[in-house]
Chain A
Amino acid sequence: MEGMGRFIIRRLIGMVAVLFAISVMVFLIFNVIPNSDPAQRIGGKNADQALIDRINDEWGFNDPLPEQYVTMMKNVFTGDLVSYQNQRDVVDQIEKGIPVTFSLCIGAAILWMLTAIVFGYLSAIKAGQATDRALTILALIGISLPVFFLGEMLLYYVAFKLSLFPVGDYVKFTEDPLQWANHLILPWFTLAVLFIGFYSRLLRSNMLDVMDEDYVRTARAKGLPERQVRLKHVLRLSLIPIVTLFGLDFGAVIGGGAILTETVYNLPGVGQYAGQAVASLDLPPLIGVTLFGAFFIVLLNTLVDIVYAYLDPRIRLGTQAA
């Protein structure tokens, strides 16, 4: 592959720079910008003087800022990032939550892509008709619903009143795959609704634009059935920007977008861990989740870029702005 090696190296160097910048920004957010004693903040509401002294020592808050930054990063990566409120190791807790968060996010992502493609496709081929209008209204309602409100309404009406699904909680896939899915159906749907609304509208407008292209007219002119023109020529090209966007959004959802859904449905994932840390003003878990969440997103984006460069030589050879 011509230029592939150079592209990967260039991209990886860029990634390291971004990761460094992100860690500096997290450091600034938690330790520099706020207007209060950092040890007090990190210790939490019930920190006594002894604990504050210990934190000052462990985090080196009396050192100059660059040294503080190095100390913080050392704490994070040697597993010394500990919540001073419940004495639990932050990295351990995040690792425990990862399977739950992945179960939730992957399921929701499949649901939102499939539904959005069907809705967007229907909306585009029926543009201006009743189906299109109904789907447009649904999509607008979808992007206007606060996730936690939708979750609570589903919990109340579908899970509690109608007893169709269990009220929250999580069952491990390895214990009982059926119960695992049964417990996750409402959360999957809740997390997916916003994206279904957004993606289906985007696909619709992409398809309407593509339908005017010359090659679509050519496909029709050479006598392809309309259905084949729509599926093989219009839909396929319209999906490219959607797939790009999907890469970004999927990373963002895993990296910190599932906080509300996990909190409402009591799913013990990374998001709920972050949500509980907010409620008790416990900063070390938030430092960990923010840092690793942003890291994950950058890693995933780099991976997506490399796959794209592999598929499309224009990107890796720099003839097109990537």
Chain B
Amino acid sequence: MATEPWTPRMPPAEAAPAGEPPMPIGGDVEAIEGKSPWYLAYLRLRRNKIALAFGALFIVIVLFCLAAPLWSRLVADTGPNQNHLTDQIEIGGKKTFVVEPNGIPIGPGLHSKFLLGADDNGRDVMVRLMYGGRTSIYIGVMAAIITTIFAVAVGLLAGYYRGWVDGVLSRTMDLIWAFPVLLLGIALGTALSVGGLKIGPLEVPADSLWIPILIIGFVYVPYMARPIRGEVLSLREKEFVEAAVAQGKGPIRIMFTELLPNLVSTIIVFFTLNIANNMLLESALSFLGAGVKPPNASWGTMIADGEDRLVTAPFLTIIPGLMIVLTVLALNVFGDGLRDALNPKAKLRMEAN
């Protein structure tokens, strides 16, 4: 660390108010002079090798899941929901049942088909794992996008207009906040699992992936809207907003062209960590039966499917479980690194200061 030309020793928390670019102190000022805050953030992130490694791990996991159709067609020769209950495959020249007559499925091993074994229905675990990962990551990312859109809208409106708009929006957020996330998730998931959702022109069938996406996106809105509102409240007092008002800019333009750009670093960090939380909630909902509907695979439903076989075929639980842990851990560590890089004054730090 000391070998760097400038060491970004973070100033104490009260040194710079929110919204101002952090000034590294104690180093060569010329090294950072004239560089944009984004470039400085990039430099800080580049130094954090742990965060970068975990970011790369997440990308590898995504690529692995995207390759599902390739593996399914070229190697395993089966789809994620195809049963092979009575099939036999050749292992070392010997014919072996995919699912033994006593119900115990084949385990992981170096055979091109069923590389990670089969589940109770004789479905290829490797293929299901890849397709399930697509589902889990897709839900995590889409729900994070929904949360972000709503949270930013709520935060901007409440923080900019203040007064009764803030009152109504903040009380609504408090109300959602009063429910434990998981409980609200299963309440919505179960209530919507019969007929789906229909609000005005928006109609979502019950077995659609969009049901868990909308639910997960909805329950996390207050957790992101609150800090964004706080930040908007303090940004709103800044001179540049006053200048924009004096120039005759309307509220909407001020929100989008003046306030939003200052929120981007917060949004990026929250978005990354939000995907991790979404994936955990998705797996919990699917595990209980209020998330992704069978026979569709997600890592949560795979663990639920494997629960009854925990003693005879523990790999059915361990494999998807480890994938969730790895993915969520990768996002958490990378998100932490992003936060350190973009907002060095942030409360939680991966690196010691």
B186–A274 touching, CB < 8 Å? yes
Write the chain A residue with the least CB distance to B189.
Answer: A278
Flag whether B201 is at the interface (Cβ < 8 A): no
User: A-side interface residues toward B, CB under 8 Å?
Assistant: 18, 21-22, 25-26, 29-30, 33-37, 40-41, 127-129, 132, 136, 140-141, 143-149, 152-153, 155-156, 160, 201-202, 205, 208-209, 212, 252-253, 255-257, 259-260, 263, 274-275, 277-279, 281, 283, 286, 289-290, 293-294, 297-298
Flag whether B290 is at the interface (Cβ < 8 A): yes
A152–B187 touching, CB < 8 Å? no
Using a CB-CB cutoff of 8 Å, which residues 307-353 of chain B contact chain A? 307, 310-311, 314, 317-318, 321, 324-325, 328-329, 332-333, 336, 347-353
B303–A149 touching, CB < 8 Å? yes
Identify A34's interface contact among B197, B332, B348, B352, CB under 8 A: B197
Closest 10 CB pairs of A and B: A36-B195, A128-B352, A256-B183, A35-B198, A149-B321, A256-B180, A144-B329, A144-B328, A127-B352, A35-B195
A115 vs B178: C-alpha distance when bound (angstroms): 27
Whole-angstrom distance between the Cβ of A122 and the nearest chain B Cβ: 13
Flag whether B192 is at the interface (Cβ < 8 A): yes
User: B-side interface residues toward A, CB under 8 Å?
Assistant: 12-13, 171, 174-175, 178-180, 182-184, 186-199, 203, 276, 280, 283-284, 287-290, 300, 303, 307, 310-311, 314, 317-318, 321, 324-325, 328-329, 332-333, 336, 347-353
- Give the residues in chain A near B188, CB-CB below 8 Å: 29
Of B179, B180, B324, B353, chain A has the most CB atoms within 10 Å of the CB of: B180
Identify B190's interface contact among A26, A145, A283, CB under 8 A: A283
Identify A25's interface contact among B175, B333, B348, B351, CB under 8 A: B175
Given the contacts A140-B332, A147-B284, A40 and B194 also touching, CB distance less than 8 Å: yes
Classify the secondary structure of B's interface with A: helix
Given the contacts A22-B175, A143-B332, A205-B349, A275 and B191 also touching, CB distance less than 8 Å: no
Give 14 CB contacts A-B under 8 Å: A25-B175, A26-B187, A35-B197, A128-B353, A143-B332, A148-B287, A148-B303, A149-B324, A152-B317, A152-B321, A208-B349, A209-B13, A255-B180, A259-B183
Whole-angstrom distance between the Cβ of A59 and the nearest chain B Cβ: 14
Of A148, A160, A275, chain B has the most CB atoms within 10 Å of the CB of: A148
